[in-house]
């Protein structure tokens, strides 16, 4: 089965995730194919806009397919993980900066790597089943794929809250937090896709009033504290025991580094700055963080009992986010997408 269906449909370029049995998890080859195809369509006058959707009802894309990254890292080979994240982030930037409209139809689970595809599209459509989340802290990673960029632009302290809790946003919250633009019941999506392909015009997009956004009224003031410990202290004082319980299941290093990433991204002027900072962590993740243990506990063995051992001190965060020298992420179009 082809993991990613690529074709032209009248005036539209079409990409469809086609791994419904795997919740359309994004593989390394899928990430590279998306980037290559966007590059080919960039100067193709027959493609006036791009439509990205997915097969199956359960997920647009529930995250990156990181089993191979885990296996190679566990065996002491860290090159595969570095290349996967390098190629994925370059693809994320290509979507964000694409000169033609990209319309993403995001049903079901939209998490991690799925946010990195749909969340950076110019026109992001959600429906009643949509559940958006950045759950990386639970596997010993950080909000990557440009997640720190999106989280940093959410109103108030929603970004910190989502990073530390992996809370799932419905369509209303996704729009309020800046992860989506338009709400439309999923039964209406096929007709809209047909209109977009026929007209090549995003003016065909017409949404409905979105459902309520509970996060708009939530008291997230505790997440304004300077450190993870400070946030936990405020939550305890407020009696927010459920949130504290959720946070304490996550990697302390991931939350500390994620907090810094989200806050530093608020000063970024382009998504590439946020992606490059994220890559400093993920470049080192299989060797120096809780990532291997987190993937083991949540995805491989599924015992949901990770043994977090990575140092979470400010000095450890400094080391994980230090510049990479010759290995820094870059976005040169001239580099061949092999």
**Mean pLDDT estimate for the chain:** 97
> With left for phi above 0 and alpha for psi between -120 and 50, is residue 121 left, alpha or beta?
beta
Residue 201 makes CB contacts below 8 A (sequence gap 6+) with 48, 49
Nearest residue to 223 (alpha-carbon basis) of 245, 248, 244: 244
Q: What is the domain count for the chain? A: 1
For strands 102-106 and 59-61, give the pairing: unpaired
Q: Residue 76 domain-assigned?
A: yes
pLDDT value of residue 239: 97
Residue 189: inside a domain: yes
Q: Does residue 337 lie within any of the structural domains? A: no
pLDDT tens, position by position, 59-88: 999 999 999 999 999 999 999 999 999 999
Q: Kindly report, residue by residue over 315-338, the tens digit of the pLDDT.
A: 999 999 999 999 999 998 655 444
Structural domain includes residue 226: yes
What confidence score (pLDDT) does residue 334 get?
54
DSSP 1: -
Q: What is the CATH number of the domain that holds 144?
A: 3.90.226.10
Tell which residue, 162, 177, 138, 113, has the closest CA to residue 262.
162
| pLDDT score of 251 more than 50 | yes
Structural domain contains residue 251? yes
Q: What confidence score (pLDDT) does residue 333 get?
A: 67
What's the DSSP call for residue 47?
-
pLDDT band at 1 (very low <50, low <70, confident <90, very high): confident
Has residue 244 got a pLDDT over 80?
yes
- Compute the average pLDDT of residues 108-112: 98
Collapsed DSSP state (helix, strand, coil) of residue 64: strand
Range of the domain at 103: 4-327
Give the span between the Cα atoms of 89 and 146, in whole angstroms: 7
DSSP sequence for 207-233? -BPPPP-GGGG---GGGGSSSHHHHHH
Q: Within a domain: residue 333?
A: no
> How do residues 148-168 score in pLDDT, each as one tens digit?
999 999 999 999 999 999 999
CB 213 within 8 A of CB 176: yes
pLDDT at position 332 is 84
**pLDDT over threshold 70, residue 284:** yes
In terms of Cβ atoms closer than 10 Å to its own Cβ (0-12, 13-18, 19+), residue 286 is: buried
Rounded percentage of the chain residues whose pLDDT exceeds 70: 98
The Cα-based distances of 23 to 109, 134, 160, 213 in angstroms read: 8, 15, 26, 25
Q: Cα angle at 219 between 216 and 225, to 5 degrees?
A: 120
Phi, psi of 6 (to 5 degrees): -120, 130
Average pLDDT over residues 239-256: 97
| Residue 14: inside a domain | yes
- Above 90 in pLDDT, residue 185? yes
Residue 334 lies in a domain: no
Instruction: Decide the pairing of beta strands 109-111 and 59-61.
Output: parallel
13: which strand partners?
Answer: 8, 50
Residue 46 — pLDDT band, cuts 50, 70, 90?
very high
**Pairing label, strands 59-61, 131-133:** unpaired
pLDDT computed for residue 278 by the predictor? 98
* DSSP-assigned beta bridge partners for residue 174: none
- 3-state secondary structure (DSSP) of residue 123: strand
Record the pTM: 0.97
Over residues 197-234, the pLDDT tens digits come to: 999 999 999 999 999 999 999 999 999 999 999 999 99
């Amino acid at each position: 089965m082809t993991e990613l269906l690529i074709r032209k449909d009248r005036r539209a370029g079409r990409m469809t995730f086609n791994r419904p049995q795997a919740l359309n998890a994004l593989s390394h080859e899928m990430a590279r194919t998306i980037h290559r195809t966007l590059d080919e369509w960039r100067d193709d006058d027959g493609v006036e806009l791009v439509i990205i959707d997915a097969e199956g009802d359960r997920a647009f894309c529930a995250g990156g397919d990181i089993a191979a990254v885990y296996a190679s890292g566990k065996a002491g080979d860290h090159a595969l993980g570095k290349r996967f994240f390098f190629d994925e982030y370059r693809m994320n930037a290509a979507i964000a900066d694409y000169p033609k409209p990209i319309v993403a139809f995001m049903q079901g689970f939209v998490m991690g790597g799925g946010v990195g595809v749909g969340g950076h599209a110019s026109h992001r459509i959600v429906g009643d089943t949509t559940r958006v989340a950045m759950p990386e802290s639970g596997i010993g990673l950080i909000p990557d794929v440009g997640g720190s960029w999106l989280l940093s632009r959410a109103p108030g302290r929603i970004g910190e809250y989502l990073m530390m809790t992996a809370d799932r946003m419905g369509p209303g919250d996704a729009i309020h937090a800046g992860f989506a633009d338009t709400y439309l019941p999923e039964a209406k999506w096929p007709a809209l896709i047909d209109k977009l392909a026929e007209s090549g015009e995003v003016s065909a997009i017409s949404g409905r009033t979105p459902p309520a956004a509970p996060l708009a009224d939530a008291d997230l003031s505790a997440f304004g504290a300077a450190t993870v410990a400070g946030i936990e202290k405020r939550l305890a004082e407020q009696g927010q025991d459920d949130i504290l319980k959720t946070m304490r299941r996550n990697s302390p290093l991931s939350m500390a580094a994620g907090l810094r990433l989200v806050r530093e991204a608020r000063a970024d002027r382009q998504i590439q700055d946020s992606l490059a900072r994220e890559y400093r962590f993920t470049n080192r993740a299989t060797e120096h963080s809780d990532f291997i243990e987190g993937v083991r506990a949540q995805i491989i063995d599924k015992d949901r009992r990770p043994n977090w051992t990575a140092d979470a001190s400010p000095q450890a965060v400094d080391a994980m986010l230090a510049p990479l020298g010759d290995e820094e992420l870059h976005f040169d179009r001239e580099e061949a997408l092999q």
